[in-house]
Amino acid sequence: MTICREWSLVKSAEAERHAKPLLCRSWSCEYCRPVRKSKLMAQAAGGEPTRFLTLTVNPSVGRDPEERLRLLAHAWRLCVKRIRRQIGDQEIAYLAVVEETKQGEPHLHILLRSPYLPQWWLSAAMAELIQAPVVDIRRIYNRKQVIRYIAKYIAKAPAQFGSSKRYWTSQNWEDRADTKDEAASTALARWQVVMEPLSIIVSRWWLDGFIARKEGKEGIIGEYYGRAQAYTFHQALGYEGLFGQGERSL
Ligand SMILES: [Zn+2]
Over residues 191-241, the pLDDT tens digits come to 899 999 998 999 899 999 999 998 888 899 999 999 998 888 888 877 777
CA–centroid distance, residue 30 to ligand 1 (Å): 7
Share of the chain above pLDDT 70, in %: 90
Q: Which of 105, 103, 131, 136 is nearest to 118 (CA)?
A: 136
Interior angle at CA 61, CA 60 and CA 66, nearest 5? 105
Q: How many residues in total does the chain contain?
A: 250
φ, ψ of residue 192 to 5 degrees: the values are -120, 145
Find out if CATH 1.10.10.1100 is the number for domain 48-173.
no
For ligand 1, the distance from its centroid to the CA atom of residue 60, given in whole angstroms, is 37
- Domain layout of the chain by residue ranges: 8-26+183-243, 48-173
C-beta separation of 24 from 142 below 8 A = no
The Å distance, Cα 25 to ligand 1 centre, comes to 5
Say how many Å lie between the CA of residue 9 and the centre of ligand 1.
14
Identity of residue 107:
H
User: 137: CA distance to ligand 1 center in Å?
Assistant: 35
Q: How far is the CA of 211 from the centre of ligand 1 (A)?
A: 26
Per-residue pLDDT reduced to its tens digit, 38-70: 889 889 989 999 999 999 999 999 999 999 999
Q: What distance in angstroms lies between residue 165's CA and the mean position of ligand 1's atoms? A: 18
Return the higher-pLDDT residue of 136 and 248. 136
User: pLDDT above 90 covers what percent of the chain?
Assistant: 59
